[in-house]
Amino acid sequence: MTSRVEALQTFKRDGRIVIVGASLAGLRAAESLRDEGFTGSLTMIGDETAEPYDRPPLSKQVLTGWVPATGTTLPRRRDVDAQWLLGTPATGLDLADNVVRLADGREVPFDRMLISTGVRARPWPVAAEAALTGVFVVRTREDAEGLQQAIAAGPKRVLIIGAGFTGSEIASICRERDIAVTVAELGSGPLVGALGAMIGEIAADMQLANGVDLRCGVKVTQLEGDAQGRFRRAHFSDGSTVDADVAVVALGGIRNTEWLRDSGLAIGPWGVACDSGCRAFDLNGLVTDDIFVAGDVARCPHPIYEYRFISLEHWANAVEQAEIAAHNMVNLQADRWPHLAIPTFWSIQFGVNIKSVGVPTFADEVIVAQGSVSEHRFVAAYGYKGRVTAAVTFNNAKWLDHYRKLIEAAAPFPPAQPTPDQPADAKPMPVDFPGPLLLSQDATVVVTGHDPSERRVTAVRP
Amino acid sequence: MRVVVDLSRCQGYAQCAFLAPDAFRMHGEEALMYDPNPDDSQRDQVLRAAAACPIQAILVEQLEGPAMTVEARRS
Ligand SMILES: Cc1cc2nc3c(=O)[nH]c(=O)nc-3n(C[C@H](O)[C@H](O)[C@H](O)COP(=O)(O)OP(=O)(O)OC[C@H]3O[C@@H](n4cnc5c(N)ncnc54)[C@H](O)[C@@H]3O)c2cc1C
Ligand code: SF4
């Protein structure tokens, strides 16, 4: 045995791994480390007091009143035999001595660590207005519990600030519960930032058809409270006002990287930069050996997207990246896996199942490739320089995998219609899948292989 | 019992909603809404639904009882 192999086996047997951020990515990484045969000590550090729980239901099943906010604890795939330090934020990372510093003054030494501290909700910028009773953000189960109670109390009107996915989902649930809703969005329509103007128009139609008072191109300038400190009225940049008793601030997230400020790692508002094997970069852009990153806090280059660094706030990405990070933490360089999964996302609003695959913002063209927009059952394909880079489906999820394969293969855009003239509810048919040589001239790489262990990038040379 | 569905892979085939209608419901044409903490009395139904899912998107808790010793500092 070479010394490197011996050192790895000693580490897998007796090493110390610390995971900071005990949520979806942290839990799945811990399980995968044990699956991979790591028997050393594992410490989970989290600033929330609860066991890892799932967030997507917080803006869906929880707000409808069906599921209590405390009922989304994540199922465990296996026992992880870890020491859990919950309710204990990490405040610093010392890479000279390999220790994590905690808010309570303790120091936790490690041989390797995973950063999975995710994002938090971006608060309303004026603290005194954010503190008014009736003003909410939605990221944690406590947030969702408070908002669910406020909605159940039967407010006269709910104001939602920001028509991204979370804001739109909450607007949809309010309408289901027959509560008046105003949605204020600075952009030209809902979901425009993530999915572009064409989908934005369709999403706006959906909101209007469901009775949402949708106001686009306006900014909320002030949240006004009454003498008891309760939110009562919002002021808009166009001079208008809206009276409401609940305001939901849905302005996206802030990545939890402040605790790494003095660590010497490559951090910023975009997250912690890492390579496609999830190893963190230091400030100089050099890759580190023992620090790994996964989930919403990670920013990682994707070969399919010209090796640009991409940050994702997607459930599936947190799971897949955590498994890759865990594998790579307990393997030698030659056996490491790249994180090449094509991003996928879903949202449920106004009774429509919206899904995406790829990176819709990495596109210069979009077409409705299949189905009917007016029936809200279609596929929109996104292209960049003549190749398919993303697809969005409305009530047409069965086609997502087909488009994922087109993206991996750098297939030409606009894509050939898989079922010309067929109604959108036709049964999926096997598609003839072009090999790399028939593909778009501009692409430089394609992804092949299915399992994480097989997935590799192949260069395309025309 | 704890349940999570990988909705990025779920194809809305609705087998689960047919087999365990209290825990899995279709919302609109193809969106799945589910109870992530169904009552233990539904265990058999939920396990049958998980087994029937054609893409194995339903994960049900594998462990019984508290599997972790949590040291919570805040209360
Ligand atoms: C309301 C809502 C709805 C969503 N809906 C969808 C959806 O429909 N589809 C989809 O694909 N995705 C959805 N998401 C996104 C998905 O939930 C996230 O991608 C996922 O939670 C990311 O997991 P993570 O573990 O990387 O980060 P997080 O879940 O953010 O977890 C990070 C953890 O680290 C902790 N932490 C932070 N700083 C520290 C510190 N210094 N020390 C210790 N611990 C720390 C945090 O408190 C948190 O517990 C939704 C998210 C929300 C909030
Ligand atoms: S059976 Fe599986 S694929 Fe079908 S709706 Fe249920 S979870 Fe989704």
Dihedral angle over CA of A107, A276, A52, A101, nearest 10: 10
**A89 CB within 6 A, ligand 1:** yes
CA distances to A12, A37, A113, B3, B45 from A330, in Å: 6, 8, 11, 29, 38
Average pLDDT over residues A158-182: 97
Strands lying side by side in the sheet with A213-216: A135-136, A246-249, A157-161, A180-185, A213-216
Q: CB neighbours (10 Å) of residue A143?
A: 19
pLDDT in tens, A232-253: 999 999 999 999 999 999 999 9
A46 CB neighbours in chain B (<8 A) are none
- The residue of A355, A376, A393 whose CB has the most chain B CBs within 10 angstroms, and thus the best one to mutate to test that interface, is A355
Across the strands, what pairs with A8? none
B27 CB neighbours in chain A (<8 A) are 348, 351, 353
Distance (Å, whole) CA B7 – CA A185: 27
Q: CB neighbours (10 Å) of residue A285?
A: 8
In contact, A22 and A84? CB cutoff 8 Å: yes
**Minimum-distance CB partner of B27 among A56, A85, A351:** A351
A294 at interface of B, judged by CB pairs closer than 8 A: no
Q: Which residues of A367-383 are buried (b: 16+ CB within 10 A; e: fewer)?
A: eebbbeeeebbbbbbbb
- Domain range spanning residue B66? 2-74
- Put simply, the answer to whether B33 touches A66 (Cβ < 8 Å) is yes
The band of B71, judged by pLDDT with boundaries at 50, 70 and 90, is: low
Average pLDDT over residues A170-197: 95
Rounded to the nearest angstrom, the minimum Cα separation between B27 and chain A is 6
Atom of ligand 2 nearest to the CA of B58: 7
Positive or negative torsion for Cα A245, A249, A250, A256: negative
Average pLDDT over residues A323-350: 97
Atom of ligand 1 nearest to the CA of A297: 26
A71 CB neighbours in chain B (<8 A) are 35-37
Give the CATH number of the domain where residue B38 resides.
3.30.70.20
Q: Which residue of B has its CA nearest to A104?
A: B73
A84 at interface of B, judged by CB pairs closer than 8 A: yes
- Could you give the maximum distance between any two Cα atoms of chain A, in Å? 75
The band of A313, judged by pLDDT with boundaries at 50, 70 and 90, is: very high
ipTM value: 0.90
Q: State the pTM of this model.
A: 0.93
- Put simply, the answer to whether B34 touches A61 (Cβ < 8 Å) is yes
The band of A450, judged by pLDDT with boundaries at 50, 70 and 90, is: confident
Distance (Å, whole) CA A21 – CA A88: 10
The residue among A93, A114, A23 whose CA lies nearest residue A328 is: A114
Q: Which residues line ligand 2 (CB under 6 A)?
A: B 5, 10-16, 24, 32, 53, 55, 57-58
User: What's the pLDDT at A457?
Assistant: 76
More confident residue, B52 or A438: B52
- Put simply, the answer to whether A84 touches B9 (Cβ < 8 Å) is no
* Ligand 1 mean position, distance from CA A296 (Å): 7
User: What's the pLDDT at A77?
Assistant: 93
Q: What is the count of structural domains for chain B?
A: 1
Distance of CA A232 to the CA centre of its chain: 32
- Look at residue A436 and tell me whether its pLDDT is greater than 50: no
